Structure formats: C-alpha cells, structure tokens
C-alpha cells in the first residue's frame, strides 16, 4: 500500500520506518527535507523524504503524525483540500502543554481533533486509531507481553477497513481491534491520553497498553 506519513518528528519517523518494514511503499512529508539528521535517517531507513505536496499525491493513506496543533496545517500543505476520498489515519492527540506536564487537551468533551480535521477537509476520510499507544508499540505491538486492544473510530466503513489492514500488517491482533463507530468516538480515545500519561508515571515506561476483557460465558 502507498502510505505517506505527515510529520518527520520522532513519532513520524518511527511509524514510517515500521510501515516500510511491514512492506508498504512509504514516504515522509516534511517541510525541511534538507535537515542533516533527517537525511541520515532516510538513508538508514530507506524511507524517502519528500515535500508535503508530493506526500499528499503519493499516499493511498495519509498518516497524520504531527502534533495536534499543527495537524490542520500539515494536511493543508499536503493538498488535503483537493484529495478526494483519501484515507487519513489520524494518530495525533490535541495536547496542550501551556501549563506544563501533564498536559491538558486543547479540545475535548463535545469535539475532537479528528472531527475538526474531518470538518476542515470534508473530501478526506478520517479514521482515528493508534493515538492510545506510544510510537514503539504502534508499529510493534508484539513487544508487549500479551496481545492488547486498539480502538478505531470513523464515519466511513471502507476507510476503517483500510486502516484495519494497515494495523494488521503491523502485527495488531484483529480480534483486539474495536470499532467504536463514528468519528465522535475519537473524543473518548483522545481523552484517554490523560490517563495514559498518569500510567506512564506509575509504570515508569511508555511501552504499555490496555486489553479489553469480556465477562466469562
């Protein structure tokens, strides 16, 4: 699958490398492809760095791996307003660090980052997933001691099915992928980050996830 990752930070690079290792044709869209550290990473990973507009034209799936506050700008730079039907796997969270750590959310309760992106770019098909784990677990769920759960939300069934295939290629257990319904469910998964950062402190590691367990019988 042709996938373009928007965002060349630590998360974007980790996700792009993982997707490439899984066999996808991956590029990373970056505003500054000439940065020496990015060029070195590209050479080592084999993932091409391209301008945002080229990334938008490359991807059957766009992965939004930018900070939440920069996500709309990144999709705009990738030509999101003109891309008809392209799937966006939105793994960003609307984190607000203005008062330090732990962060709060810049949007919550009655809206979500994912919903705002869908409104801003109505021709795209936004699917929320992967925002409840760190980048290492995103691309290597097998690093955890047992299969864990992941939630998916989106308004388009076919787009969600495409994202499920991407997740399965990374090693996620299909039986632990939970479709929460429409994109409004992203309000819940984005709010989970408030618990996630507390668990991070308690566990002393970011390599963790939760598992949904049904009642016996």
Residue 116 pLDDT: 98
Residue 31 pLDDT: 87
Model confidence band, residue 161 (pLDDT cutoffs 50, 70, 90): very high
Residue 59 pLDDT: 82
Alpha-carbon gap, residue 217 to 205, rounded angstroms? 34
Task: Work out the average pLDDT over 83-104.
Answer: 96
Neighbours of 50 (CB within 10 A): 18
Neighbours of 179 (CB within 10 A): 16
Alpha-carbon gap, residue 80 to 129, rounded angstroms? 19
> How are strands ordered across the β-sheet holding 61-64?
48-50, 25-29, 2-6, 61-64, 87-90, 125-128, 150-154, 177-179
Alpha-carbon gap, residue 74 to 83, rounded angstroms? 13
Q: Which domains does the chain have, with CATH numbers?
A: 2-203 (3.40.50.720)
- Which pair of structure tokens corresponds to residue 205? 């590691």
Q: Would you give the distance in Å from CA 81 to the centre of its chain?
A: 19
Residue 32 pLDDT: 83
- Which pair of structure tokens corresponds to residue 126? 């936004």
* In contact, 42 and 69? CB cutoff 8 Å: no
- The pTM of the full predicted model, rounded to 2 decimals, is 0.96
Task: Work out the average pLDDT over 142-171.
Answer: 98
Summarised one tens digit per residue, pLDDT across range 54-65 is 999 998 999 999
Model confidence band, residue 111 (pLDDT cutoffs 50, 70, 90): very high
Question: Half-sphere exposure of 59 toward its Cβ, with a 13 Å CA cutoff?
Answer: 36
Residue 157 pLDDT: 98
Task: Work out the average pLDDT over 66-77.
Answer: 96
- Looking at the DSSP bridge assignments, the partners of residue 179 are 152
Summarised one tens digit per residue, pLDDT across range 187-203 is 999 999 999 999 999 99
Summarised one tens digit per residue, pLDDT across range 8-59 is 999 999 999 999 999 999 999 998 888 899 999 999 999 999 999 999 999 8
> Is the pLDDT reported for residue 217 higher than 90?
no
Percentage of the residues of the chain whose pLDDT score is greater than 70: 100
Task: Work out the average pLDDT over 127-150.
Answer: 98
Query: Which of the 8 DSSP states describes residue 127?
Result: E
> Is the pLDDT reported for residue 69 higher than 90?
yes
Nearest residue to 5 via CA among 81, 24, 190: 24
Task: Work out the average pLDDT over 56-75.
Answer: 96
């Amino acid at each position: 699958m042709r996938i373009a990752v928007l965002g060349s930070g630590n998360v974007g690079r980790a996700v792009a490398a993982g997707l490439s290792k899984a066999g996808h044709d991956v590029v990373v869209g970056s505003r500054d492809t000439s940065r020496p550290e990015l060029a070195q990473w590209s050479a080592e990973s084999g993932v091409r760095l391209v301008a945002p507009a080229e990334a938008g034209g490359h991807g059957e799936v766009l992965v939004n791996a930018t900070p939440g506050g920069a996500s709309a700008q990144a999709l705009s730079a990738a030509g999101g307003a003109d891309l008809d039907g392209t799937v966006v796997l939105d793994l960003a969270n609307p984190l607000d660090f203005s008062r330090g750590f732990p962060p709060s959310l810049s949007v919550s309760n009655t809206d979500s980052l994912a919903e705002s992106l869908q409104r801003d770019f109505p021709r795209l098909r936004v699917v929320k997933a992967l925002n409840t784990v760190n980048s290492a677990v995103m691309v290597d769920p097998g690093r955890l001691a047992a299969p864990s759960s992941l939630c998916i939300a989106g308004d388009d069934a076919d787009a969600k099915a495409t994202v499920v295939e991407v997740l399965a290629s990374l090693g996620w257990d299909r039986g632990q992928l939970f479709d929460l319904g429409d994109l409004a469910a992203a309000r819940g998964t984005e709010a989970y980050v408030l618990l996630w950062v507390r668990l991070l402190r308690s566990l002393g590691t970011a390599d963790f996830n939760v598992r949904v367990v049904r009642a016996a019988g």
